[in-house]
Structure 1
Amino acid sequence: MEEILIISNYYPPEKGAAANRIEQLALKLYQNNYKVSVVCPLGNYPKGELFPEYKGKFSVTENRDNITIKRLWIYPSVSKNLVVRIISVLSFSLSLFFYLLFKKTPKKVIVQSPPLLLSFISVFVLSLKNKKIILNISDLWPLAAIELKALKEGSFSHKFSLFLERYIYKKATLIIGQSNEIITHVKSLFPEKNCYLYRNFPDHKIENFDLTFEENQPIKIFYAGLLGIAQGVLELCEKINLDGLNIELHIFGDGAEKNQIEVLLSSEKDKKIFFHGMMERNELHEKLKSFDIAIVPLKVRIYGSVPSKIFEYGALGFPILYFGGGEGESIVEENKMGWVASVEDYTELNNKIQLISKTSKLELFGMKERIFRESQINFNLDLQMKSLINEDVF
């Protein structure tokens, strides 16, 4: 059985798309006869606090669904204080540096990027040890940071990030990217680099359509995921207009905007927006069976980003109301998955919601059945994995 290591900043029991995506990759490699191990920080995300089972520990080795997981020390934080955040990033970076330098690692290693500093350290040490480095790019940094105004263009931090970005692209043996835009960007810098598309398809293990039909209920739109700056869910709650419509918005998740969202909704109880907090994935999917439409927002159009929620909820059978621009728009439109509103255009978004309000529950149910069937073919993780293995990517 061939060995492969995955280096990631997130892994379950942490919540969110990043942790789910890496776990899915690990499990699929195991199912294809790889012996898989993962190196990641002690569990702390999204609250920036060590989970109770990891407190007081420097490192932990555990087995989760036949995947060996090595969790290394981190000083966790989601503080807005830049110095504290830097200390947090450096803490795991140092743990990872010494682990990779002195521990025996498999010949093949998948490195998740971003975060850039962690991927830089991984690629730097692994290149010295002559490993096959498979760089898995889920977002383009620092480009995304500039678009989100988290970095100032031309600043020292921006220039340093550009150096890290170019280094990891150059030193990686090959690159897998979640979008065609990511691959185009890498090729613009290193035209000869071998790059492969790797979509964040889910594996729900659901063979039969099982969403339910409730005729005499409001149309239930839901957002489920990270409540961070990039998603702009707080602004969505402020600007969405459900007045006079038989529509509700339900929000599930946790993150930086959680408290502000709760304050807003407690002060404006007539908005028909309901906050449910964070739920376990299986519990969430069970809760959503009677819901109707998944909304996928981004605060700004982020080049290279394709929200995995498109595939996550499309594969369950939910129509998508997409509000993020970029390649995600094309995926929703080409697969006839629902509705698209131009990113940041709340007038257009509210017009789409008006249009949705005129759709009957029966029509929505028909859409769900079709989207579920087509997603089994179009968003098939097993077929994607086998194709990449046949091309000797892993």
Structure 2
Amino acid sequence: MKGQKNKEILIITNYFPPEKGAASNRIFSLVKGLSESNYKVQVVCPLPNYPQGKVFTGFKKKLFSKVEEEHSSVNRLWLWPSNSSNKFIRLLSMLSFSFSLTLFMIFKKTPKKIFIQYSPVFVGFTAVFWASILRKKIILNVSDLWPLAGLEMGLLKKGMYYNLLRKMEKFCYRKSHLIIGQSQEILDYIKKEGVLTSLFLYRNIPDFTPLTIPISAVSKEIKIVYAGLLGVAQGVYNLCTHINLPKHIQLHIYGNGPESENIKNCNATNIFYHGEIERELLNAKLHEYQIAFIPLINRIYGSVPSKIFEQSRVGLPLLYYAGGEGETIVRNNKLGWTIPVNDLNALQSFIDSLTSEKLIEFNKNSVQKNTIKAFDFNIQFKELTERLNAI
């Protein structure tokens, strides 16, 4: 019985299916893997609302929802949803879920081990605070370095609020028994904070078997695809209005987010917006394109876009325009081309010189082979479960 209790785990996350995106996909893969490793998994998350900022149909007017799903029991808690650009409104939204989470932690019986998705800061702090009070074993998943990332993106300024977030961040690090980071930069940053907690690198490697790359006829027409969040950090709308595409090159955009309406109404030549589609359908459609585009407005320390691993896995060579550790990963593993972040002239120059002959440099089969060899979900997950079992 004691061993069985040790195989129970609670996962607290701000994002979970049916929501889409890197965080949701990563947490679902974790839940599935833990379930298949004989863990009894519980999930606590908000009522689904991301990225639209509105509670999904089927969950509206609910304060609480508990459903037994295939790999876990999922507890969805009330929040006041918002994707507003107003910082105060977004803070209230995060605090509303923190309030619901506090009630859950106080009144519900929870397992000894609790896996906490750190970002957003207030949600992560609330979860760590109560898990610490209740003497739980805390596994902290750090996918980005808030508040540092907010400072680098211009969303935060140094002052009282920033200092408060820093104190909350350090508290979460100190109280954790294992810290998982999605990049080596994240782990290096945490080490510099003087944290003695055990650290583990856990990249956003997807858990799916890629389809066989179909044989396609050589064409002078080149289709580039962007598939992901359409947010301020990605800057896709700005690129749509500043990059000139030659007649033989098209940019196709999939996704949702704060910039989606602007992109939808953008009349730029050779740019097509397709909205948001299911992940399985998207992975199948990606074979229609020759290059996957991965941009960020600025290099964000600690950030490694999950699209690197997902889109190279289906065989798409990458056009990487985001800098940082991700740039090194793309270059060292021969997954595509890298352009200095925020250098529009260099990006335009690359596009102007792009021809079907240039695609031979990184063909689809070699890109897929390289990423499968370098990034194996099962090997990484096995190492993670060994760490979890040892806590």
Q: In 1, are the aligned partners of 2:12 and 2:43 still within 8 Å (CA)?
A: yes
Q: In 2, are the aligned partners of 1:212 and 1:290 still within 8 Å (CA)?
A: no
Aligned to 2:381: 385
- Count the aligned residue pairs: 385
3-state DSSP class of the match of 1:369?
helix
The one of 258, 281, 284 equivalent to 1:283 is: 281
Partner amino acid for 2:270? Answer: K
Runs of 4+ in 1 over 6 A off after TM superposition: none
Aligned to 1:309: 307
Q: Please state if 1:376 is matched with 2:383.
A: no
Q: Please state if 1:31 is matched with 2:27.
A: no
CA deviation profile, 1:54-76 (whole Å, cap 9, x unmatched): 01111101133322110000111
Aligned to 2:252: 250
In the TM superposition, 1:172-321 aligns within 5 A as: 172-206=176-210, 209-216=212-219, 218-244=221-247, 246-265=248-267, 268=268, 271-321=269-319
3-state DSSP class of the match of 2:292?
strand
Partner amino acid for 1:175? Answer: I
Residue 84 of structure 1: how far off its partner (Å):
2.6
Normalized against structure 2, the TM-score is what?
A: 0.94
How far, CA to CA, are the matches of 1:79 and 1:242 in structure 2? 32
Residue 212 of structure 1: how far off its partner (Å):
4.5
CA deviation profile, 1:319-372 (whole Å, cap 9, x unmatched): 1110001000000000001100000001111222234325266x27x7211121
How far, CA to CA, are the matches of 1:314 and 1:306 in structure 2? 14
How far, CA to CA, are the matches of 1:33 and 1:211 in structure 2? 37
Residue 138 of structure 1: how far off its partner (Å):
0.3
Q: 1:41 to 1:150 in 2, by over 3 A?
A: same
Residue 191 of structure 1: how far off its partner (Å):
4.2
3-state DSSP class of the match of 1:190?
coil
How far, CA to CA, are the matches of 1:247 and 1:360 in structure 2? 13
Root-mean-square deviation over aligned CA pairs: 1.6
In the TM superposition, 1:1-394 aligns within 5 A as: 1=4, 2-153=7-158, 155-206=159-210, 209-216=212-219, 218-244=221-247, 246-265=248-267, 268=268, 271-359=269-357, 363=360, 367-392=363-388
Q: In 1, are the aligned partners of 2:150 and 2:156 still within 8 Å (CA)?
A: yes
Partner amino acid for 1:261? Answer: I
Partner amino acid for 2:337? Answer: W
**Sequence identity (%):** 45
3-state DSSP class of the match of 1:196?
strand
Partner amino acid for 1:249? Answer: L
Residue 261 of structure 1: how far off its partner (Å):
1.4
CA deviation profile, 1:302-329 (whole Å, cap 9, x unmatched): 0000000000111111111100010000
Q: In 1, are the aligned partners of 2:31 and 2:71 still within 8 Å (CA)?
A: no
CA deviation profile, 1:180-224 (whole Å, cap 9, x unmatched): 100000000124221110000001223x52344242362111000
Gaps of 5+ in 1: none
Q: In 1, are the aligned partners of 2:296 and 2:341 still within 8 Å (CA)?
A: yes
How far, CA to CA, are the matches of 2:104 and 2:357 in structure 1? 56
Normalized against structure 1, the TM-score is what?
A: 0.94
Residue 26 of structure 1: how far off its partner (Å):
1.0
How far, CA to CA, are the matches of 2:317 and 2:185 in structure 1? 24
CA deviation profile, 1:9-48 (whole Å, cap 9, x unmatched): 0101011112111111111111222111110000111111
Residue 241 of structure 1: how far off its partner (Å):
2.4
How far, CA to CA, are the matches of 2:324 and 2:282 in structure 1? 28
Residue 110 of structure 1: how far off its partner (Å):
0.7
How far, CA to CA, are the matches of 1:337 and 1:113 in structure 2? 30
Q: In 1, are the aligned partners of 2:219 and 2:356 still within 8 Å (CA)?
A: no
Partner amino acid for 1:171? Answer: K
Q: In 2, are the aligned partners of 1:209 and 1:369 still within 8 Å (CA)?
A: no
Q: 1:82 to 1:179 in 2, by over 3 A?
A: closer
How far, CA to CA, are the matches of 1:274 and 1:187 in structure 2? 44
Q: 1:65 to 1:374 in 2, by over 3 A?
A: farther
